[in-house]
Amino acid sequence: MTHVIIVGGGIGGLAAAARLAHAGYRVTLLEQRTQLGGRVGLFERDGFRFDTGPTLLMMLDPLEKLFRDLHRRLEDYLQPVLLNPSYRVFYADGTRFDSSPCIASMVREIAQKMSPAEVPNYLRLMADLSAMLHDVVPAFVRRNYHSPLDLLGAGQIRLLVKHRLLANLYRRVRRYTRDPRLQMLFTFQTMYLGLSPMQSPWVYGILTYMESGEGVWFPRGGMYQLVRALETLAREEGVQISTGERVEQVMVESGRAMGVRLASGETIKADVVVLNADVPTAYQNMLPSSKQASRKWRNSCSALVFLIGYTGKLAQLLHHNVHFSADFERNLQEIFVQKTVPEDPSFYTCLSVRTEPSDAPEGSENLYVLVPVPNRSGQDATSMKNEVLRKVLSRLEREAGLRRDGILFVQDISPADWEAMGLWQGAAFGLSHDFFQSTCFRPSNRAPFEGVYFVGASTVPGNGIPMVLISAELLQQRIEQETGVRRGKGQK
Ligand SMILES: Cc1cc2nc3c(=O)[nH]c(=O)nc-3n(C[C@H](O)[C@H](O)[C@H](O)COP(=O)(O)OP(=O)(O)OC[C@H]3O[C@@H](n4cnc5c(N)ncnc54)[C@H](O)[C@@H]3O)c2cc1C
């Protein structure tokens, strides 16, 4: 039986393991940490529960497809709840805006808080973004690339021209609305990829549509339930899962994968090795030298995360909240161009206790704060975390009535911690998604050694839970094509 070792138990590794086991392979998954899930982490203390990485579940389709492909029903494993409003936006001028996936609510909110004249602009923008999303996903996202020429198919070129996919996102949104608050609202979503909206191509407007148009979901019990659901699925399919097992080296002989060597010195043989680790780190530390190892990659930004146990109520805050800096453009320049820690940071807050009351003790809040900062190739926010926290808390005193004496504890996750997890330069969102690191230019899911593959955020199609789940679909297609094993035809 063809033996596949998956190195890493992030969302990508778990989904790939379940898919490949279902397709007829013998699958072993090795995770270096004691907790599965990678960046989808869990922290619990004194009756408070926090998700430590992702907090927004968007674009349910790849998740539903995973369970459907494995002849299961998603709802038997996970109960996602659609949030409405999706989130509250706090602008520095005092405007508070509740974003919603319901068009009628958005129309009312825009008319009341911005101007009735902006309503048709919003409707036009959403219609154009929706059309782009439905064209772009099958043509560019849900596909394996074999060479850059794959981008030059007649269908791809027609879509590039039709939607002007490579136009600048920030400038193009300005053509829909003159209100700077709406410009921020409809572009900041590229920061989910660790990318500045000012440097993003228009095609990333599909993120705006995924979030503003289709909405934001939260799994009952928290984001970590997603990890538990995928772990259950993988184990049901017969995947052998071991935690606390760090892979030091992929063993390659005559250009072909032979297995892996663990930090303990033990070796495990395999026909196929799938790396869920960050691609630059894997090329530099785990694989024999190759051209890829010396490639000059570009990274996304990083994040300072604060998990705050708070006694009292922050009634102004919803489940998700976005707090824009007074000068958003300067804020972006600082993070992405000057690579300095922002003077007046924009940040995001999450209180999952709004949807899941058991996430904090009675009368308390589980306050999650995420501040985008440069990765460690620039100014290191790790040593400035206390100063950043002070600025965030001052703003929350004004906007949400936070009292310092209500803070019971603060647990932080800094760029140095993301780096310790194996993310090169502490870039929490991994490889950047600029043009030459997207589609056919992104690291392929096939390494230049026979039998070695990648899955996850730093290979195709990219970062974020939905994309990582699609990366597991693409990996399965690729491996099945190259090894010819399929359930029914295979040895299982
Ligand atoms: C702060 C933050 C907020 C985010 N918010 C969102 C959000 O709201 N919505 C969203 O969709 N996405 C969000 N993301 C992105 C999302 O978390 C990632 O895209 C996704 O979790 C990446 O999954 P992955 O499987 O590719 O990699 P990872 O989660 O990084 O998993 C890789 C795994 O491999 C293991 N590993 C690495 N090297 C080895 C080795 N040598 N031996 C054994 N194991 C190894 C690691 O320990 C890890 O468990 C966020 C990310 C961060 C950091």
Q: What is the mean pLDDT of residues 153-176?
A: 93
Rounded CA separation 119/100 (Å): 14
Contact criterion met (CB below 8 Å) for 3 and 272? yes
pLDDT of 487 higher than 60: no
Using CA atoms, how far residue 320 sits from 79, 217, 304, 453, in Å, is 19, 11, 17, 36
Q: What is the pTM of this model?
A: 0.96
pLDDT of 415 higher than 60: yes
Any atom of ligand 1 within 6 Å of the Cβ of 13: yes
Q: What is the mean pLDDT of residues 115-122?
A: 98
Q: What is the mean pLDDT of residues 71-99?
A: 98
* pLDDT score, position 294: 82
Q: Among 33, 39, 243, 411, which is best to mutate for testing ligand 1, by the most ligand atoms less than 8 A from CB?
A: 39
pLDDT band (50, 70, 90) for residue 425: very high
- HEC string of 123-137? HHHHHHHHHHHHHHH
Distance 457 CA to ligand 1 centre (A): 7
41-69 pLDDT, tens digit per residue, is 999 999 999 999 999 999 999 999 999 99
pLDDT band (50, 70, 90) for residue 152: confident
222-247 pLDDT, tens digit per residue, is 999 999 999 999 999 999 999 999 99
Going by their DSSP bridges, the two strands 256-262 and 267-269 should be labelled as antiparallel
pLDDT band (50, 70, 90) for residue 356: very high
* pLDDT score, position 485: 61
Q: What is the mean pLDDT of residues 199-227?
A: 95
* pLDDT score, position 149: 84
* pLDDT score, position 484: 74
Rounded CA separation 455/248 (Å): 18
* DSSP-assigned beta bridge partners for residue 304: 371
Residue with tokens 């996304």: 300
What percentage of residues in the chain have a pLDDT greater than 90?
90
Would you tell me which CATH number, out of the four given (3.90.226.10, 3.30.2130.10, 3.50.50.60, 1.10.10.350), belongs to the domain 3-40+223-297+431-483?
A: 3.50.50.60
- Residue nearest ligand 1's atom 15 by CA: 464
255-311 pLDDT, tens digit per residue, is 999 999 999 999 999 999 999 999 999 999 999 998 888 888 899 999 999 999 999
The total of other beta-carbon atoms located within 10 Å of residue 266's CB is 9
* pLDDT score, position 50: 98
* pLDDT score, position 488: 42
Distance 421 CA to ligand 1 centre (A): 9
pLDDT band (50, 70, 90) for residue 486: low
